[in-house]
Amino acid sequence: MCERQRRKGVYASQYLTPDRTARQMAALAVRYFDNDSRIVDACCGTGQLTRALLLEGVHPSAILGFDADAELADLYEYLYPETTALRMQFHEIDFRCENVIANPPFEITECTSFLQWLSRTQCSGDWAVLLLSYGFIDKQRPKAVQETMRHFIIHYRTPMQEPFARTNCRAEIVVVERA
């Protein structure tokens, strides 16, 4: 996947979620999410988080994955045919997303835009388990980061315990509830 991204070029950084991190995020999702609501695997890529959710016992019909990269969305659909797959960017999703699990782009502008979208598509009491660049939610600048984070209650955060392949980028798992 890293070589594919290097050859193809990537609009926004997307790092393949390591297996242990994906399993940890899925366990948190099962713990925090409402079991009767659909789970949206936002920016799903190859489905690392969906695979971990399935291993946690989540029924495939309860999962909807979407990605802007058509090739990755096609691969996701091939690997997980019982789930629902959409080929679109997050800002094109306009339905309620009660439960979101995601490894969104790490660029400040893109991640802020992702969190703004999340705050628009969630209602009070909805949840998200996110893999964010380490310290992103503490940033004071740009001001939009803190303005957006005011829409969420942070319930849990922990540093990622394993590295992404071929990058020194550090990340943390963050569980938020829409305020």
| Tens-digit pLDDT profile for residues 95-135 | 999 999 999 988 889 999 999 999 999 999 999 999 999 99
Q: Per-residue pLDDT averaged across 153-175, rounded?
A: 88
| Per-residue confidence (pLDDT) for residue 16, from 0 to 100 | 79
Q: To the nearest whole number, what is the mean pLDDT of the chain? A: 90
| Per-residue confidence (pLDDT) for residue 138, from 0 to 100 | 93
| Per-residue confidence (pLDDT) for residue 66, from 0 to 100 | 95
| Cα separation, 72 vs 140, whole angstroms | 34
* Range in 17-21, 27-31, 166-170 with the lowest mean pLDDT: 166-170
pTM of the predicted structure, to 2 decimals: 0.92
Q: Which strand (E) or helix (H) includes residue 178?
A: strand 171-178
pLDDT exceeds cutoff 70 at 4:
no
Neighbour count for residue 64 (Cβ, 10 Å)? 20
**Comparing 127 with 35, which gets the higher pLDDT?**
127
| Per-residue confidence (pLDDT) for residue 147, from 0 to 100 | 95
**Among 176, 166, 168, which residue's Cα sits nearest to residue 99?**
176
| Per-residue confidence (pLDDT) for residue 13, from 0 to 100 | 59
Q: Per-residue pLDDT averaged across 67-80, rounded?
A: 90
